Amino acid sequence: MTNDTEYIFDEEDVDALQAARRTLRIVFATAYGLLFVAGTIGNGIVIAMICNVMTTMSRNARYRGRRRVSASSTRHVFIYVLGLSIVDLLVILHLPFLIVDMLHGQWIFGTAMCKLYWFGECVNKLLSSFLMTVLSWDRYLAVCSPIKSFRVRSNSVAITVVLCCSLLAIILLFPVLQESTVVKVNKHSGLPLFEGTEDLRLSDLHGTTISKCIFDAGSPLFMMYTFFAGYMIPALLITAFYLQVIIRLHKNARTVRRHGLTSKIQPCRRVQQVTKRIVAVILFYFFCWTPQWTLNILSQFSLITVSWSTLTLSSIFFAAHLLVCFNSAANPVLYALINRELRQQHVIAMMRRRQSISTATQAAMEFIEKHSHHSTPSVSPGTQSDSSANYDEANGKHLVKSESTVHSQDTFL
């Protein structure tokens, strides 16, 4: 039986500890809030851009009879990046729940939302790793085996791969939905309090009982297979695929220099830029994901013990979790916003949209002018229509030329 004296704390120590916890919560809540804003805006912009580009591509292929070869060589990449952006956005959208939990000091959303919170966070993080691996695999095929892999790099295959990755992540992490729950803990010690125990009665008596949303896998087996499936295997594959891309690009660059093709100097510089971006992607992945998985493994095997009573380890854990969320907020920049072709395609799509709006507005004005006056207008509608047609034709030629230039460049990320 627990003695009442165990709940008698030195008031100064308790006040100092509570102040340190409040400071820690405010600091990390602010950091999470900034990540939420940046990640939501970044992923939202990428999703809007890709949807705009793909809608324009589909409309052009359907109504203008344009060749699908040039569009399909990039559209499937946009599908992968779109899937990654949606998943990263979902990772970011769970942060408000965490922020409220940190500022309020306990979980206030109930058991059902606790299960959805943990399941959604874990599935989306695992799926994010899967899709980053798929993107590296696609770039490997595009650079090292472009002809043989042409059928594999298609829209239908991209959609199938994204759906299969989603299903795999859900199956692997289904135990999270079962094992996550809300428990009562002592806010001073961070230790769980079980129903019907003297510890819970005394904690309630002293007003130190709070609710926390937790997930406890129990068996180390779950932690190990999620570690390999969600981190180790993707990390090895991403590194292997991108290293092969670097090797092939530099081999091609040496061939160009050996034959003295001075007209190919710009592509050689492009190889150096691509190499730097590949190295940045690999290092950034390890930088963001390694700390959290390392701490999870150490905690699972009881090599370290983390609770609010150990503020240093708690700070390290939150910092590691913050890095994973930072990865989801930064992926739009790494995979989309610095992608030249996506930006150019977006500009083309917006130009076509503005042209369509301008043409429709002009036609509407002509219709109103024609039917609002009984007399013949001073300006011949036919002349205006011919001028509009010449304008549209000129813009159409410019857009087609721009689009052909864009499609001549392959997408890296």
Q: Has residue 6 got a pLDDT over 60?
A: no
- Residue 324 sits at φ, ψ, to 5 deg, of -65, -45
* Model pLDDT, residue 17: 72
Identify the pLDDT of residue 36: 96
> Does 148 have pLDDT greater than 80?
yes
pLDDT at residue 113, as a whole number: 94
Is 149 a residue whose pLDDT tops 60? yes
Residues 6+ apart with CB under 8 A from 250: 271, 275
In the predicted model, is pLDDT for residue 165 greater than 90? Answer: yes
Judge whether residue 62 has pLDDT over 60. Answer: no
Tell me what the mean pLDDT of segment 43-60 comes to. 82
Residue 153 has pLDDT above 70, yes or no: yes
Mean pLDDT computed over every residue of the chain: 78
**Which of 151-155, 226-230, 373-377 has maximum average pLDDT?**
226-230
Most confident option among 180-189, 222-231, 347-356, 382-391? 222-231
Pairwise CA distance, residues 376 & 244, whole Å: 71
- Name the DSSP letter for residue 333: I
213 CB-contact burial (10 Å; exposed 0-12 / middle 13-18 / buried 19+): buried
- Condensed to tens digits (0 to 9), the pLDDT of residues 267-279 reads 567 667 777 888 8
Better pLDDT: 323 or 334: 323
How much is the pLDDT for 325?
94
Least confident of 87-101, 169-183, 300-314: 300-314
pLDDT band at 353 (very low <50, low <70, confident <90, very high): low
Do residues 82 and 48 make contact, with C-beta atoms less than 8 angstroms apart? no
Q: Where are the domains of the chain?
A: 16-60+73-355
Instruction: Supply the pLDDT for residue 13.
Output: 62
Residue 342's pLDDT band (cuts 50, 70, 90): low
Q: What is the pTM of this model?
A: 0.76
Cβ atoms of 74 and 158 closer than 8 Å = no
Token readout for 328 is 């989801």
Task: Domain 16-60+73-355: state its class.
Answer: mainly alpha
H/E stretch holding 192 reads strand 192-193
Predicted confidence (pLDDT) at residue 187 exceeds the cutoff of 90: no
Cβ-based neighbours of 49, under 8 Å, separated by 6 or more: 336, 342, 343, 346
Q: Which residues pair with 242 in a beta bridge?
A: none
Average the pLDDT over 169-198 and give the result. 84
> What pLDDT score does 216 carry?
81
